[in-house]
Amino acid sequence: MNKKGKPFTIIAFLLPALILFVGILIWPIIASVHHSLYTYPTFADPGEFVGFKNYTDLFSSQYDFGRAILNALILAALSVFIQLPLALGLALMLGKGIKGERFYLSVYFAPVLISAVVIGMLWEKIYNPIYGLVTKAAEALSISVPPEGLLGNPKTALLAVFIPTIWQYVGYHMLLMYAGIKGVSPELREAAKLDGATDGQVNRYVVIPCIKPIIKVSIIFAITGSLKSYDLIKVFAKDAYNCSYKVPSLLLVRYAFHNAGGIASAIAVIMIVMCFGFAILVNWLFKERDLYGKK
Partner 1 sequence: MKMKRLVSVLLAGVMTLSLVACGSAAEPATETAPAATEEAAVEEPAPAAEEAAPAAEEEAPAEEVASDEPVTLTMWCIATEGDSNRHAYEQAIADMEEKYPNVTLEWEAIENEAYKTKIATAMADGNDLPDIFFTWSCAFLGDFVEQGRVYCLDDTLAKYSDELPESMLGNTTYDGKHYGVPTTMNIVALFANMDLLAEAGWDHVPVDYDELIQCCDDLVAAGIIPFGCAGGETWCVTEYLEPIIEKSIGADALNDIFLGRATYNNPDVAKAVDTFQEMIDKGYFDPAGASLPNDDVKANFMAGRTAFYQNGTWNCADFANDEEFLPKVQVTEFPVIDSSKSKLGQLIGGPSDTLAVAATSENAELAAEYAAELGKLICHYGYLDGCGLPAWIPYGDTSDINPLTQSVAEICANADAYVLFGDTAMSAVDKDPYLDAVAKVYGKELDGQGFIDELAGAIR
Which chain residues interact with partner 1 by CB under 8 A?
A: 42-44, 60-62, 64, 127-130, 146-149, 151-154, 157, 236, 238-239, 241-244, 253-255, 257-261
* Cβ–Cβ under 8 Å, residues 220 and 277: no
Cβ distance to partner 1 smaller for residue 24 or 44:
44
* Residues paired with 49 in a beta bridge: 38
Handedness of CA 7, 12, 17, 21 (dihedral sign): positive
For the CB of residue 257, give the shortest distance to partner 1 in the complex, in Å: 4
Work out the angle at residue 104's Cα, subtended by the Cα atoms of residues 101 and 105, and round it to the nearest 5 degrees: 80
* Residues paired with 38 in a beta bridge: 49
Cβ distance to partner 1 smaller for residue 146 or 209:
146
Residue type, 154: P
Q: State the CB neighbour count (10 A cutoff) for residue 232.
A: 20
For the CB of residue 146, give the shortest distance to partner 1 in the complex, in Å: 8
Cβ distance to partner 1 smaller for residue 28 or 129:
129
For the CB of residue 55, give the shortest distance to partner 1 in the complex, in Å: 17
For the CB of residue 50, give the shortest distance to partner 1 in the complex, in Å: 14
For the CB of residue 282, give the shortest distance to partner 1 in the complex, in Å: 33
* Cβ–Cβ under 8 Å, residues 100 and 203: no
Cβ distance to partner 1 smaller for residue 161 or 207:
161
For the CB of residue 279, give the shortest distance to partner 1 in the complex, in Å: 30
Residue 149 three-state SS: coil
Residue 48 three-state SS: coil
List alpha helices for the chain, DSSP H: 6-21, 27-35, 53-58, 65-78, 84-95, 101-113, 116-127, 133-140, 157-182, 186-194, 199-202, 208-210, 212-227, 231-237, 248-256, 261-294
Cβ distance to partner 1 smaller for residue 241 or 276:
241
Cβ distance to partner 1 smaller for residue 87 or 260:
260
As a dihedral over the C-alpha atoms of residue 135, residue 138, residue 139, residue 145, rounded to 10 degrees, the angle is -70
For the CB of residue 225, give the shortest distance to partner 1 in the complex, in Å: 23
For the CB of residue 78, give the shortest distance to partner 1 in the complex, in Å: 20
Cβ distance to partner 1 smaller for residue 172 or 245:
245
Rounded CA gap, 95 and 207, in Å?
10
Cβ distance to partner 1 smaller for residue 100 or 147:
147
